Amino acid sequence: MVLKQEQIIRTGRYRHFKGMEYRVLYTATHSETLEPYVVYQALYGQGGIWVRPAAMWNEMVTRNGETQPRFEYVGEE
């Protein structure tokens, strides 16, 4: 799966729709499926490193009747 221009994920700081902030470290490609993934770090607690499919990173979610991006770009570090 190749990401479209509007789906490209840049490094930097993002806010999750639930309010916590994360830093995108890299994008990566699954070795078998070629699916794009996002490698990111929590900017709270112990700063855990996580991975999520790029399609999920870019999706819209509905919470309390409001549709919004799962992750919103905040800016560079």
pLDDT in tens, 20-46: 999 999 999 999 999 999 999 999 999
pLDDT score of 7 more than 70: no
Query: What is residue 41's DSSP assignment?
Result: E
Q: Which residue has the higher pLDDT, 65 or 77?
A: 65
User: Residue 41: exposed, middle, or buried by beta-carbon count in 10 A (0-12, 13-18, 19+)?
Assistant: middle
Stretch 67-76: mean pLDDT:
96
**Where in the chain are the domains?**
5-75
User: Which class is 5-75 in CATH?
Assistant: mainly beta
